[in-house]
Structures are given as structure tokens and as C-alpha cells.
Amino acid sequence: MRVLKFAILGLLDQRDLTGYDITKHFKDTLGQFWSAKHSQIYPELKRLTEEGFIQFDVHIHGKKLEKKVYQITDAGKAELDEWLRTKSPIPETTKDEFMLKTFFISSMDKKDAVELFTHQLLERTKKVDMLEHKLKVLTEEDPSVQLLHSVQFGHFLVLTRAIEREKGYVLWLQKTLHFINQ
């Protein structure tokens, strides 16, 4: 399935954007949980335009600089809506090399195991801090972000889920270090 297609339609349903804006969204937000090759974005924009799901206006900046500002069409909204309503299966658990090492922990020295787990604990804690900072900025920018129809409500949800998950991971790492050290 062309999931990138729906990611672009979803973004354009929030506001009109240039190809550059869309790439930036992938870099800053969407790409954190749905990675896309940036080189795929422009071909997808072209294809969506040909299919009539999006259209663009050319905005002129200065004498030469032209940029296409894309917007979603009614057909594009219908396409997005159909996809949003399709139920998703639970994805396979993502491959995590650290989990594989954990599975084989009985082959490790205590000192090495403590080092490995302590490192992971530090990294995961940093990730929680980073995600919580993003959530703080998001909430400060829009105090009504927790409402269903606020444009950033979805961003709020994916961030809070990621924070819960990472905090759970940190707790488990702390418990594991406790087991190893006893």
C-alpha cells in the first residue's frame, strides 16, 4: 500500500503546503514514527496531482523563484477518509537488536551485562526527556491540543504514546539492573 500517499493527504488536509514543508514535516515529526525516503515525496506529489487528489497553485517569490503550494481536493479528502476508516492490524514487533542480546544475557559476564543495560537506560532516559520536551512545547504552543478537533491533537497522541512506551522501557531496564545486581 502507498502509505506515503495517505501521509501526504493527511498533512494537506491540515493545511496547504509546499513540497519543502512536507519534507520538513517528515524530518521533524512524522518520520519519527513513520520513516519515508525524502526522495519519494516529490514523485508522490506528482502522482497525486495526476490522480486528482491534490492540486497546486504557483506562488511567485521575487522575480524568478516559483513554488508550488499544494492543497487537497474533494476527491483527495474522500480518499483520505476511506483510508482513515480502514481498521489496521497490529504490526509485527519491530526488530530490536538489544532484545536479541537480552535473550542471550546468560552468555555475558555480570560486568558487561550491567554496562550494556546501563547504557540502554541512559539512552532511553534521554529519549523520554526529548519526547517530554516536545510535548511541553506542543502544549505551550496550543493549550487546547488535548481536544479532538485541535489540529495537533493527533501529534499530541503519538507523542504521549511514545512517552508511555519509553517510560515503560526505562522501568523494565531499572528492574533488570536490579535483578542482575542481586
Contacts with ligand FER by CB under 6 A lie at 29, 32-33, 131, 134, 155, 158-159, 162
DSSP 64: T
The least CB distance from residue 25 to ligand FER, in Å, is 10
Q: Which is nearer to ligand FER, 33 or 179 (CB)?
A: 33
Closest of 167, 104, 98 to residue 131, by C-alpha? 167
The least CB distance from residue 148 to ligand FER, in Å, is 18
The least CB distance from residue 163 to ligand FER, in Å, is 9
Task: Please name every residue paired with 18 in a beta bridge, in sequence order, or none if there are none.
Answer: 69
Give me the residue label for grid cell 477518509. 81
Contact indicator for 25, 68 with CB cutoff of 8 Å: no
At 147, the amino acid letter reads: L
Q: Which is nearer to ligand FER, 2 or 161 (CB)?
A: 161
Q: Which is nearer to ligand FER, 77 or 134 (CB)?
A: 134
CA angle at residue 101 from 95 to 105, to 5 degrees?
150
The least CB distance from residue 118 to ligand FER, in Å, is 21
